[in-house]
C-alpha cells in the first residue's frame, strides 16, 4: 500500500519554479518619458483599439513584461482570443493552441508563459516537457474541456468496444491520454477517415462532430460538450446581418451549431478563418467566433471592415497584463502533468501530427 506520509514528503521536496529561477522585485510601473518612448512603436499596433488617453495605463506593464521576459529567458505564447495589448504588445508567438505549443518547441527559451486557457498550457507542457510552463491565471478554464473527464472516456470505451476515439485538442491531458488520437477543427475529417472504419467516436464537441459528420460517410458518435462562445451564435442573427447588408461575408468556426455553419460563406478553423480573410480580402466580414480575434487581425488586413457580434470568452479574459507580469516576477503558476498521463497524451497528439508522414 502507498504510504501517504511518503507521498507528502516527496511533494514537499519538489522545487517550485520560484525555487529554481528565483523571485525578483516588482518593477516600477510609473509612466515615464522613457517608457513612453520604449513602447510607442507597440502602441501603433493597437491604436485602433486603445485610446491614446488610456495607453499610460498599459505601457508600464508592456515595458516591464518585455524587459523581464528577456531577463528570464522566457517566451510568451498568446492565443488569437487574447486582447490586443497582449497579442500585439508582449506576445512572442501567436496562433491557435496546437500551433503555439508546436512553435514553442523551436525556440531557445527555458520558460513558457501561456496566455490562454488551462488545456492549452497543458498541451504546451506535453510538447515541451523539459521547459517550465506558467499560466498567468490557473482558473482560466474552458467550458468544452471541462465537459468531459478521463473517466468519461474510459466509460465510452467500455460502451463502444473497438470503436476508435478521436479527441479534439481542446481537452485536458487526462482526456487526451485515454484517446486513440487527437484532432483539430482543421483536420478532424482527415483524422476520422484515417482509421478506415465505419464508426468513430469524435469527442467532446458535439457541434464539431456534427459538422464533421456532414463531410464524411463515417458514422460519428459524439459527446454533448460545447464551447460557450460558439454555441451562443444563431442562424437567425446571422441571417439578420445578411438581410441588413448582403455584401457581408460570414465566416464561421466549426464549433458553431450546424445551422450556423449552413448559412456561413466559409467555415474553417481559427487559422483557416484568418487565412481566408488575408487571401480573399472581403470588403466586409463577420467572424463567427470570439470577438478579440477580429480585433487582432484587423491591423493585418487594411481595407477589410469587421462586423463584430461580440461574444467574449470569460476564461480567456482572465489573462491580463498585470497577471502576466506577476507570473514572471513570482514564477507562478506552474503547469504540471503527471508523467504517466503526459506520455500517453503526448502519443495521441503525436499520432495526429505524424498522420501524413
- What CA–CA distance (Å, rounded) separates 289 from 291? 6
Domain range enclosing 67: 17-141+317-330
Neighbours of 43 (CB within 10 A): 18
Structural domains of the chain, count: 3
Report pLDDT for 100.
85
Q: 106-110, 152-156, 201-205, 326-330 — which is least confidently predicted?
A: 106-110
CATH code of the domain containing 76: 3.40.50.10800
Annotated binding site: 79, 97, 142, 168-170, 185, 227, 253-255, 270, 313
Report pLDDT for 12.
47
- What CA–CA distance (Å, rounded) separates 163 from 221? 9
- What CA–CA distance (Å, rounded) separates 270 from 255? 10
In a domain, 115, yes or no: yes
Annotated binding site for iminosuccinate: 79, 97, 168-170, 185, 253-255, 270
Do 300 and 323 lie in a common domain? no
Per residue in 63-104, pLDDT tens?
Answer: 999 999 999 999 999 999 999 999 999 999 998 877 887 888
Chain centroid to Cα 194, Å, comes to 25
Do 326 and 212 lie in a common domain? no
User: What pTM was estimated for this model as a whole?
Assistant: 0.91
Per residue in 168-225, pLDDT tens?
Answer: 999 999 999 999 999 999 899 999 999 999 999 999 999 999 999 999 999 999 999 9
- Give percent of the chain above pLDDT 70: 96
Annotated binding site for [4Fe-4S] cluster: 142, 227, 313
Per residue in 130-169, pLDDT tens?
Answer: 999 999 999 999 999 999 999 999 999 999 999 999 999 9
pLDDT at 2 over 50: no
Rounded average pLDDT over 33-42:
98
Whether the Cβ atoms of residue 262 and residue 254 lie closer than 8 Å to each other: no
- What CA–CA distance (Å, rounded) separates 357 from 80? 28
In a domain, 81, yes or no: yes
Q: Report which secondary-structure segment, H or E, holds 44.
A: helix 33-46
- What CA–CA distance (Å, rounded) separates 149 from 176? 10
In a domain, 93, yes or no: yes
Amino acid at each position: 500500500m502507498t504510504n501517504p506520509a511518503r507521498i507528502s514528503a516527496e511533494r514537499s521536496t519538489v522545487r517550485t519554479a520560484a525555487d529554481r529561477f528565483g523571485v525578483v522585485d516588482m518593477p516600477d510601473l510609473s509612466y515615464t518619458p522613457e517608457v513612453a518612448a520604449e513602447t510607442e512603436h507597440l502602441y501603433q499596433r493597437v491604436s485602433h483599439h486603445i485610446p491614446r488617453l488610456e495607453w499610460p495605463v498599459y505601457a508600464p506593464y508592456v515595458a516591464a513584461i518585455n524587459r523581464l521576459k528577456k531577463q528570464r529567458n522566457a517566451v510568451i505564447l498568446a492565443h488569437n482570443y487574447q486582447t490586443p495589448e497582449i497579442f500585439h504588445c508582449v506576445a512572442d508567438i501567436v496562433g491557435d493552441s496546437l500551433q503555439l505549443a508546436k512553435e514553442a518547441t523551436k525556440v531557445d527559451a527555458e520558460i513558457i508563459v501561456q496566455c490562454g486557457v488551462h488545456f492549452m498550457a497543458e498541451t504546451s507542457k506535453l510538447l515541451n516537457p523539459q521547459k517550465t510552463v506558467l499560466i498567468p491565471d490557473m482558473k482560466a478554464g474552458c467550458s468544452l474541456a471541462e465537459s468531459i473527464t478521463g473517466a468519461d472516456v474510459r466509460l465510452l470505451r467500455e460502451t463502444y468496444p473497438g470503436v476508435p476515439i478521436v479527441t479534439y485538442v481542446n481537452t485536458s491531458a487526462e482526456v487526451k491520454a485515454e484517446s486513440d488520437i487527437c484532432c483539430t477543427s482543421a483536420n478532424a475529417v482527415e483524422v476520422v477517415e484515417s482509421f478506415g472504419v465505419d464508426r468513430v467516436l469524435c469527442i467532446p464537441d458535439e457541434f464539431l462532430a456534427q459538422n464533421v459528420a456532414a463531410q464524411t460517410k463515417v458514422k460519428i458518435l459524439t459527446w454533448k460538450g460545447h464551447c460557450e462562445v460558439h454555441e451562443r451564435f444563431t442562424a437567425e442573427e446571422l441571417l439578420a446581418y445578411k438581410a441588413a447588408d448582403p455584401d457581408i461575408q460570414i465566416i464561421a468556426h466549426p464549433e458553431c451549431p450546424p445551422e450556423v455553419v449552413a448559412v456561413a460563406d466559409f467555415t474553417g478553423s481559427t487559422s483557416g478563418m484568418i487565412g481566408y480573410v488575408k487571401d480573399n480580402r472581403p470588403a466586409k466580414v463577420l467572424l463567427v467566433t470570439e470577438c478579440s480575434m477580429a480585433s487582432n487581425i484587423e491591423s493585418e488586413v487594411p481595407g477589410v471592415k469587421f462586423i463584430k457580434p461580440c461574444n467574449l470568452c470569460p476564461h480567456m479574459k482572465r489573462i491580463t497584463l498585470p497577471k502576466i507580469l506577476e507570473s514572471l516576477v513570482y514564477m507562478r503558476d506552474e503547469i504540471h502533468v503527471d508523467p504517466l498521463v503526459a506520455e500517453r497524451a503526448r502519443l495521441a497528439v503525436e499520432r495526429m501530427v505524424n498522420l501524413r508522414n
